[in-house]
Amino acid sequence: MQSRLARIFRPATRRTVMLAIDHGYFQGPATGLERVDLSIVPLLPYADALMTTRGMVRSTIPPASGTPIVLRASGGPSVLRELSNEQIAVGMEDAVRINACAVAVQVFIGGEYETRSVRNMTRLVDAGQRYGIPVLAVTAVGRELTRDARYLRLATRICAELGAHLVKTYYCEPGFDTVAAACPVPLVMAGGRKLPERDALAMAHHAIENGAAGVDMGRNIFQGEAPEAMIRAVGAVVHESMRPEDAFGQYLRQPRVR
């Protein structure tokens, strides 16, 4: 378990830059993910971990890439249905076969199927303890819930109390520092919707400064005009504590490669 976590979080900084490309499990081919082999594979050297699905691992991600896999393990409904109605979609033995460093599950605190999603997480935690695979609980706000500090403290703490080894949640202002302080396991910031590059770098910086152990960004990287330059700039913010304006300057100086 600790060995797998040490592959996700760089030992030198104890932080991580995850690249999230698992959107297709409920959204289909999201913008920027139509051709993962062309848009994502070149970014793998700059990611500490790749959050993806087992179908993408087996069909597209090069086995020799060496980038640790955080495997999406819940699913069910598409964007056309009630998103909180998820179930476990991957067995832990298959996660072992894929050599995943962690499995990820959505937890819909306050959602229509809240109890089912919590049960999904606890079942994965039990299986993960047997196999030595950490569980990443992803706090899912759905369409109606507010991403404020009060809600995020509730959701992240429930996940940690029930056994999640790390938690992914959204950034909020004010009060993100209270969310991180109340969560006893590593907290990774979700990138969320696409922002201007300068704003996304500032959000990552503020999250790290206020206690996050890393970021898990997807759309703010692969939907931009220069994904490689952006993921390198995010890495500088997370691992080098670079100020966002300096990281943005670095981003602008990088070659525009897509």
Q: Which of 101, 67, 211, 98 is nearest to 149 (CA)?
A: 211
- How far, rounded to the nearest angstrom, does the alpha carbon of residue 178 sit from its chain's CA centroid? 20
Active-site hit among 23, 153, 165, 168 = 168
Cα atoms in the 13 Å half-sphere on the side-chain side of 150: 3
Q: How far apart are alpha carbons 47 and 227 in whole angstroms? A: 12
Q: If you write DSSP's letter for every residue of 184-217 in order, what string do you get?
A: SS-EEEE--S---HHHHHHHHHHHHHTT-SEEEE
In sequence order, what are the beta bridge partners of 190? 170, 216
At how many degrees (to 10) do helices 244-253 and 197-209 cross? 140
Residue with tokens 């700059």: 46
Q: How many CB atoms lie within 10 A of CB 65?
A: 14
Q: Three-state SS string across 94-123, please?
A: HHHHHCCCEEEEEECCCCCCHHHHHHHHHH
Active site residue 194: no
φ, ψ at 154 (rounded to 5°)? -60, -50
| Catalytic positions | 168
